[in-house]
Amino acid sequence: MARHWRTGAAGLAVLGLSLTACGGAKVGDTSSGSDNSSGSSTKCGTFNLAVNPWVGYEADAAVVAYVAQQKLGCTVNKKDLKEEIAWQGFGTGEVDAVLENWGHDDLKKKYITEQKTAVEAGQTGNKGIIGWYVPPWLAKAHPDILNYKNLNKYASKFKTSESGGKGQLLDGDPSYVTNDAALVKNLKLDFKVVYAGSETALIQAFRTAEKNKQWVIGYFYEPQWFLSEVALKKVSLPAYTTGCDAVASKIACDYPVYNLDKIVSAKFAKSGSPAYNLVKNFNWTNEDQNTVAKYIAQDKLSDDAAAKKWVDANQAKVDAWLK
Task: Give me the tens of pLDDT residue by residue for the chain, a chain 323 residues long.
Answer: 643 333 333 333 334 333 333 333 444 443 334 443 333 344 899 999 999 999 999 999 999 999 999 999 999 999 999 888 999 999 999 999 999 999 888 899 999 999 999 999 999 999 999 999 999 999 999 999 999 999 999 999 999 999 999 999 999 888 776 899 999 999 999 999 999 999 999 999 999 999 999 999 999 999 999 998 999 999 999 999 999 999 999 999 999 999 999 999 999 999 999 999 999 999 999 999 999 999 999 999 999 999 999 999 999 999 999 99
Q: How far apart are CA 152 and CA 310, in angstroms?
A: 44
Q: At what angle do helices 286-297 and 303-313 cross, to 10 degrees?
A: 140
Asked whether this chain's domains 46-127+260-321 and 128-250 adopt the same fold, the reply is yes
Q: How far apart are CA 84 and CA 180, in angstroms?
A: 19
Helices (H), 53-171: 55-72, 83-88, 105-108, 136-141, 151-154
Of 288, 224, 229, 299, nearest to 56 (Cα)?
Answer: 224
The predicted pLDDT at position 275 comes to: 97
* 3-state class (DSSP) for residue 11: coil
Domains of the chain by residue range: 46-127+260-321, 128-250
Q: How far apart are CA 159 and CA 157, in angstroms?
A: 6
Write out the H or E segment, with its range, that includes residue 247.
none
Q: How far apart are CA 310 and CA 6, in angstroms?
A: 35
**What are φ and ψ of residue 318, in 5° steps?**
-65, -40
Dihedral sign for Cα atoms in the order 88, 7, 57, 297: positive
Tell me which fold the domain 46-127+260-321 belongs to. D-Maltodextrin-Binding Protein; domain 2 (3.40.190)
**What are φ and ψ of residue 243, in 5° steps?**
90, -10
Domain 128-250: give its CATH code: 3.40.190.100
Torsion of CA 300, 10, 178, 140, to 10 degrees: 50
